[in-house]
Every structure is written in structure tokens, then in C-alpha cells.
A and B are shown apart, each in its own frame.
Chain A
């Protein structure tokens, strides 16, 4: 008897609550969750692009971080201007960003926060994770956007950047990955967000992280460098690639990139590949050396501010997009250029 009454009362209360909820969701303004990346207890500042994109949407911005001993990462993220709250989940199970447990974790926190937009970078982490999150939320993700027209409408390159699509989403939660080069990373300054512990569903990951093999380099990071020098098949071997390209990169303070041909032939590491299937860069200066300029390569660099090309083939397609081109033997021209830059 008591139980029945209780159930009825609670039922009513619950219905009232549900009503209030649906009402508030009608009036609810958009709010965004920016998913930040961390690596070994360090905030990946490149992932702060998600906050820049969130600012363009308007509305309150919360940022999400997860991992073991997450406090210092959360505190650093809290200094980013424009962020209201940092949702932090302290659990080393999320250190490696394995989507099998990270996706349910995000889904729980998205539901709890009632976000209308979820944004992460179109990085290896974002690409691996967000589509799984979107599927769990039954929403069609919008990948690799380069611009935001309004809260429902986004611009994204398709066909390796040979066409630009404007798409309008009808989903109630927009799950978005952004092209980092189109949204500069937000600065870690001026903010004072509160840090709050997020919900942790403690889902198991069926996948186990075994190891990683990261290319170490003192040069700037390819994806965010302001100058990039990139070598192609014209370099002919790994030895010559290193001998010609690395001093040029050092003279310019540039990151090193490579075409797919150069990577396939083993001149450079896979992670240095620029193009549709590699990284997309948009530095102040992109210098293409011994690269013909296939459409798949152009997809990764044609938004660079200034493009320079050195190639012995005067008809190479790269010259059609280069702001300045030099026809000549790269083994002669590049060392000469490196010397002149050094003495300048």
C-alpha cells in the first residue's frame, strides 16, 4: 500500500520533472563540451582548438579531460579564457584514450551536462573516439569542419579538399571534429574555470594498450608549425632526404613533412606524411622540395599562407599553386638556399 502510494507520488514527481526538463530543453541555449587531449599528464595544447571553435558557437563552454592524476591538466585547462567549467575524470583507465571505455565515459558526461554540441580535434584521438560516441548517441557526426556558419550549419572539405560542402545537421546533439589548422588553439591565459569531477561509468575496455613508438624530434610539431619544409620522391633516398631537408628545416626553424611517395619509399616516417591520408597543415610558409603536387598531397597543404616549390620539372602541378617556384636541381638549389638562409 505504502509502496503503491510512494510509487504514485514519485511517478508524479518524476513526470513533473520530465516536463520541466523538456520545457527547459526547449528554452535551453546551446552549450558545448570541448574534449581535450592529454598525454602522459600533459595537456595537448593543440586540442585547445576545440575551445576556439566552441567560442564561435556562443553559449557556455565546458571542457573535458580524463586520465590518471588529471588535476594538473585540469588546472592548466582552467586557465583558458572563455571556459566556464572543466569536467575532469581522474582514472588512469583513460590515459590511452581507448574508445571502448572512453566513448561510454563521454556519453555519460554529455548526457549529464545536456550539451548540444560536442567538439574534438580531427586528430588520431578524435577520429578514433568521436564516431563511436556519435553512434552511441545515435547522431550523425560532422567530421573535419573548417568553419561554423551557425549552430546547425558547418563547412567541411570533401573529395580531398577539391570541393567544399556546407551541411546542416538535424540532430539534437551535434558531434563534431574540427580541422586544427582552421581554428587556432585557444590561449592558456586569462581564464578561471571551475574544476568539477565528471561521472565515471567505469566501463571495461575490451582493447588493451600494448605499446607505442613515437618519432622523437626537437623540431616543431608538423601539424602546428608556422613553417614546414616537405620532401618528395625527388630526394631519391633516406640519406639524401636527411642530408638535404634537415639542414633546411633547421635554418628555417621549420617542421619536416613528406609526400606519400617519400614515405612509401622509406625516406621519412609515416607520421610526417602531408596529404589527404596524412596530416593537413596550413603554415605561414610551406616549401615543397622534389614534390610534383598530386591532388592527394595538395589536399594536405593548399591552405598554407605562402607556398614555395623547388622542382626540376617546370611542368609539375605544384607550380600551379606555388606563390613562388624555382625550377632546378634540388640537390644544388636546396643547399645553396640553406647557406643563404643561415648567413642572412
Chain B
């Protein structure tokens, strides 16, 4: 089996615990809040590091490269990924507020895969900001590679290049098998990401971080989808509380729910 050269795309997003607020101009949400690595991307980094630590791939892991396209602060996210165990990082710098659409990201990643000679790309199944759930599938399509999305378990055969992936699907799970090179996207059940320890955070500062621009990959930030407006969802008012089960039943009847 060929040694693994894993590419892990990560995205800096508003922290999952922050309740996003729509800005006054209705062009997006307030971004002056805490940001973190997209939770599904943490799973991708963790899985890559575990493949190396557990020596589960017969050919071993030669390289774990994390990449992020985003504003200068995306470097913090890349450092976090390196503190978790990634070897090096590529930062494709974009301007603040210049968000790439999944199709552009997929095109960018295709160039990076070719340049870096990656044979496994592990992405999060979706980013929790625009909830698109597209990039991994688009990348696999552009590369003509097999894909295993919403992975909850990744297993390597003892020999050869075959990878068996259990996927979360509606109603349960499904298992598929493909050969490298391939694209995998992570579901929450895949693993439990580690916390980066202080010594590892210090070490990560010395790991290589290569800076690139969109133009280096022939990508522009033009959008196919224009955001016409962003609004708050219609508010929902709590209807108050009842004292006992009888109150609950009669209120539900009154609301026509029973």
C-alpha cells in the first residue's frame, strides 16, 4: 500500500456555542464573536492523527497537511490543527468577509491535492456556518475519486489500498469500500477530538506554515450565489408553563395538538 499523504481542510467558523446574530445591514451575521475550528474539521484532524498513531494503514502515514482558506486569523485554526498532530499547514489567505463558495473551495482543493500528491482527503461533512454539506462531494467529483461521506468508522485493509467506511445514513448506517485515493467526510460519531496540550501548542508554533494566495491556484472569490439578504428567523414565543399533567393535556388539546 502506498504511504498516506493526508490532506485535511479546516475552516474557521463562529464557535458552535455562540448564538449568531444577524447584522443591522442584513448582509450576514455579526462576526465580532468567538471563532473556533469547525467541529467536524476537528474530527478530520483527529482521525488523521489516529490513523498514524494506531498504525492502522498498512503503508503508514507519510504526511498530514492541514489547509485553510480564510482571513489572516485562519492561521490560529491551522496552529490548533498542528497542535493536535498535523505536520504542516497551508494558509490560502483571503480578505476579511470574502467567503469562498463550496465549489470554489473544491476547485482550490483539487489543485492542492495535485500539488501535494495527497491520496486521502478527510473533510468535515459540513461547516456549521453555511451548513451546505457540499465541499467533500464536489472535490471527489472534480477529482473523479471515490467518496465516503458522513463517516462514523474508517478501517484500512491489512494489505492493499482498500478502505472500508461505515457511513451514517437515514435510518441507520451503511458500509462501503473503496480504494485509495479517496475522499472521506466525517460525522460526529467518528471519534472524540483531543485537546491540544500546552507543550504541543508550543511545538505547533515551530511547524511549517506556508502562505499562499487564491491566485496561486487560479481561483477567484467570485460568487455564483449572491446573498440578497440575511434575516433573523421568525421569533418563537414560549407559551408559558402549566402546573400539572392535566394542564398539559388540556393546553395541548386547546392548541389542537391532541
- Cβ of B111 within 8 Å of any chain A Cβ, yes or no, is no
Q: Tell yes or no: A24 within 8 A of B by CB.
A: no
**If the complex has contacts A99-B147, A325-B241, A326-B242, are A124 and B226 also in contact, measured as CB distance less than 8 A?**
no
Kindly state whether residue B198 has any CB partner on chain A within 8 Å: no
The answer on a CB contact under 8 Å between B142 and A135 is yes
Q: B1-33, CB under 8 A of A: which get 1 and which 0? A: 000000000000010110110100000110000
If the complex has contacts A123-B170, A128-B149, A208-B177, are A167 and B227 also in contact, measured as CB distance less than 8 A?
Answer: yes
Shortest CB distance B230–A (Å): 5
The number of residues on chain A lying at the interface, defined by a beta carbon within 8 Å of a beta carbon of chain B, is 89
Q: How far is the CB of B251 from chain A (nearest CB, A)?
A: 4
A139 within 8 A of B: yes
Query: Which of B178, B224, B257 is packed against the most chain A CB atoms within 10 Å?
Result: B257
Are A271 and B20 in touch, CB under 8 angstroms? no
**Interface residue? A141 (CB, 8 A):** yes
A322 contacts partner chain B, Cβ-Cβ < 8 Å: yes
> Chain A's nearest CB lies how many Å from the CB of B113?
14
Contact A306 B22 (CB under 8 A): no
A132 touches B252 (CB 8 A): no
Q: In the complex, what residues of B have CB within 8 A of residue A288's CB?
A: none
In the assembled complex, how far is the CB of residue B65 from the closest CB belonging to chain A, in whole angstroms?
Answer: 22
Give every chain B residue within 8 A of A210 (Cβ-Cβ). Answer: 164, 175-177
Contacts of A161 in B (CB 8 A): 233
Stretch among B50-58, B81-89, B129-137, B204-212 lining the A interface: B129-137
Query: In the complex, which of the residues A166, A170, A209, A324 contacts B224, with contact meaning CB atoms closer than 8 Å?
Result: A170
The count of residues in chain B whose C-beta lies closer than 8 Å to any C-beta of chain A is 83
Cβ distance B175 to chain A, nearest Cβ, rounded Å: 4
Binary contact readout A202-227 vs B (1 if CB under 8 angstroms, 0 otherwise):
00011111111111000000010001
Complex CA distance for A344 and B17, rounded to whole angstroms: 41
B120, CB-defined interface residue at 8 Å: no
A324 and B243 alpha carbons, distance in the complex (Å): 10
Residues of A within 8 A of B19 (CB): 162, 295
Per a CB cutoff under 8 Å, which of B16, B146, B225, B241 touches A327?
Answer: B241
CB distance from A227 to the nearest CB of B (A): 8
Instruction: Answer whether residue A269 sits at the interface, using C-beta atoms and an 8 A cutoff.
Output: yes
The yes or no answer to A31 lying at the interface (CB within 8 A) is: no
Interface residues of B in 188-226 (CB under 8 A from A): 188-189, 223-226
Report chain B residues within 8 Å CB of A211.
Answer: 174-175
By the criterion CB–CB under 8 Å, are B172 and A131 in contact? Answer: no
A296 within 8 A of B: yes
**How many Å from the CB of A101 to the closest CB on chain B?**
11
Structural contact, B257 and A143, CB atoms closer than 8 A: no
Is B29 touching A308 in the complex (CB atoms < 8 A)? Answer: no
A76-84, A152-160, A190-198, A231-239: which lies at the interface = A152-160
A144–B150 alpha-carbon span in the complex (Å): 17
- Asked whether A206 and B179 contact (CB < 8 A) given A158-B230, A306-B257, A324-B252, the answer is yes
Q: Is the CB of B228 within 8 A of A213?
A: no
Contact indicator B141/A326 (Cβ below 8 Å): no
* A166-B172 contact, Cβ under 8 Å, with A206-B146, A324-B251: no
Q: Is B229's beta carbon under 8 Å from chain A?
A: yes
B246 touches A340 (CB 8 A): yes
> Which residues of B does A touch, CB under 8 Å?
14, 16-17, 19-20, 22, 28-29, 101-103, 106, 126, 128-142, 145-150, 152, 164, 167-179, 182, 187-189, 223-233, 236, 238-249, 251-252, 255-258
The 7 closest A-B pairs by CB, nearest first: A131-B137, A140-B224, A135-B141, A214-B172, A135-B138, A323-B239, A132-B141
Q: List 13 A-B contacts (CB under 8 A).
A: A128-B150, A139-B224, A140-B103, A164-B230, A164-B231, A165-B130, A168-B225, A210-B177, A271-B172, A277-B126, A285-B257, A314-B241, A326-B243
Q: Could you list which residues of chain A lie within 8 angstroms of chain B, going by C-beta atoms?
A: 96, 98-100, 103, 122-125, 127-136, 138-144, 153, 157-171, 205-215, 223, 227, 260, 269-271, 276-277, 279, 284-285, 295-296, 302, 305-308, 310, 314, 319-328, 333, 336-337, 340-341, 344
